[in-house]
Chain A
Amino acid sequence: MSSMESTNLTITTLKRMFGEGKRFDGRGLLDYRDIVVTYDVSNKAEGSARVKIGKTEVIVGVKLAPGTPYPDSLDKGNLMVSGDLLPLASPRFESGPPGFAAVELPRLVDRAIRESHMIDLSKLVIKKGEKVWTVMIDIYPLNDDGNLIDAASIGAMAALKKTVIPELDENGIVDYEKKAKKELPVSEETAPISISFFKLGDAIILDPTREEEEACDTRITFGISEWKKQYMINSCQKSKPVSLTEKEILKMMEILPEKFEQLNKKLKKFL
Chain B
Amino acid sequence: MTAHKRTDGRTATELRPMIAKVGVIPNADGSAIFSFGDTVAIAAVYGPRQLHPQHMQDPSTGILRCTYDLLSFSVYDRKKPGPSRRSQEISKVTEWALAPAIDLVGFPNQVVDVQIYIIQADAGTRTAGINAASMALAHAGLPMKDLICSVACGKLDKDIVVDLNKDEEDFEGGEGPTDFPIAKFATSDDFTLMQLDGMIQPERVKEVLEVAKEACKEIYEVQKKALKEVIE
Interface pair B199/A115, CB less than 8 Å apart: yes
Interface pair B195/A227, CB less than 8 Å apart: no
Q: Which of A232, A240, A242, A257 has the most CB of B within 10 A?
A: A232
- Within A93-111, which residues are at the interface with B (CB < 8 Å)? 100, 103-104, 107, 111
A171 at the A/B interface (Cβ < 8 Å)? no
With both beta carbons as reference points, the residue of chain A lying nearest to B184 in the complex is identified as: A243
Q: A236-B195, A241-B96, A242-B100 are in contact. Are A107 and B202 (CB under 8 A)?
A: no
With both beta carbons as reference points, the residue of chain A lying nearest to B205 in the complex is identified as: A253
Interface pair A230/B201, CB less than 8 Å apart: yes
A9 at the A/B interface (Cβ < 8 Å)? no
Interface pair B196/A235, CB less than 8 Å apart: yes
Bitwise, A147-181 to B at CB < 8 A (1) or not (0) is 00000000000000000000000000000000000
Bitwise, A239-253 to B at CB < 8 A (1) or not (0) is 111111110011001
Interface pair B201/A238, CB less than 8 Å apart: no
* A256 CA to B196 CA, complexed, in Å: 15
Instruction: Identify B199's interface contact among A100, A233, A238, CB under 8 A.
Output: A233
Q: Which of B20-28, B41-49, B86-94, B115-123 contacts A (4 or more CB under 8 A)?
A: B86-94
* A227 CA to B174 CA, complexed, in Å: 12
* A111 CA to B178 CA, complexed, in Å: 12
A237 at the A/B interface (Cβ < 8 Å)? yes
Q: A103-B85, A232-B201, A233-B202 are in contact. Are A241 and B99 (CB under 8 A)?
A: yes
A231 at the A/B interface (Cβ < 8 Å)? yes
Interface pair A243/B89, CB less than 8 Å apart: no
A48 at the A/B interface (Cβ < 8 Å)? no
Bitwise, B148-168 to A at CB < 8 A (1) or not (0) is 000000000000000000000
Interface pair B88/A103, CB less than 8 Å apart: yes
How many of chain A's residues touch chain B, expressed as a range? 35 or more
Bitwise, B24-63 to A at CB < 8 A (1) or not (0) is 0000000000000000000000000000000000000000
With both beta carbons as reference points, the residue of chain B lying nearest to A101 in the complex is identified as: B92
B95 at the A/B interface (Cβ < 8 Å)? yes
A220 at the A/B interface (Cβ < 8 Å)? yes
Q: Which of B10-18, B186-194, B216-224 contacts A (4 or more CB under 8 A)?
A: B186-194
Q: How many whole Å from B14's CB to the nearest CB in chain A? A: 23
Interface pair B189/A231, CB less than 8 Å apart: no
* A258 CA to B194 CA, complexed, in Å: 21
> Chain A contacts of B96 at CB under 8 A?
238-241
> Chain A contacts of B88 at CB under 8 A?
100, 103
How many residues on the B side are at the interface (Cβ–Cβ under 8 A)?
Answer: 34
Instruction: Identify B209's interface contact among A111, A232, A238, A246, CB under 8 A.
Output: A246
Q: How many whole Å from B122's CB to the nearest CB in chain A? A: 16
Q: A236-B194, A237-B195, A238-B194 are in contact. Are A250 and B205 (CB under 8 A)?
A: yes
> Chain B contacts of A143 at CB under 8 A?
none
A234 at the A/B interface (Cβ < 8 Å)? yes
> Chain A contacts of B99 at CB under 8 A?
241
Bitwise, A197-236 to B at CB < 8 A (1) or not (0) is 0000000000000000000000010101101001111111
Interface pair B206/A115, CB less than 8 Å apart: no
> Chain A contacts of B202 at CB under 8 A?
224, 231, 233, 253-254, 256-257
* A116 CA to B200 CA, complexed, in Å: 10
B203 at the A/B interface (Cβ < 8 Å)? yes
> Chain A contacts of B206 at CB under 8 A?
250, 253
* A177 CA to B135 CA, complexed, in Å: 59
Interface residues of A (CB under 8 A from B): 71, 100, 103-104, 107, 111, 115-116, 220, 222, 224-225, 227, 230-246, 249-250, 253-254, 256-257
Beyond the given A107-B89, A235-B196, please list 15 additional residue pairs across the A-B interface where CB-CB is below 8 A: A100-B92, A103-B88, A103-B89, A104-B92, A222-B196, A224-B202, A232-B201, A233-B200, A238-B96, A240-B96, A241-B100, A243-B100, A244-B194, A249-B194, A257-B202
| Complex A-B: 13 CB contacts under 8 Å | A104-B89, A115-B198, A115-B199, A230-B201, A233-B202, A236-B196, A238-B96, A241-B64, A241-B192, A244-B191, A246-B189, A246-B191, A249-B209
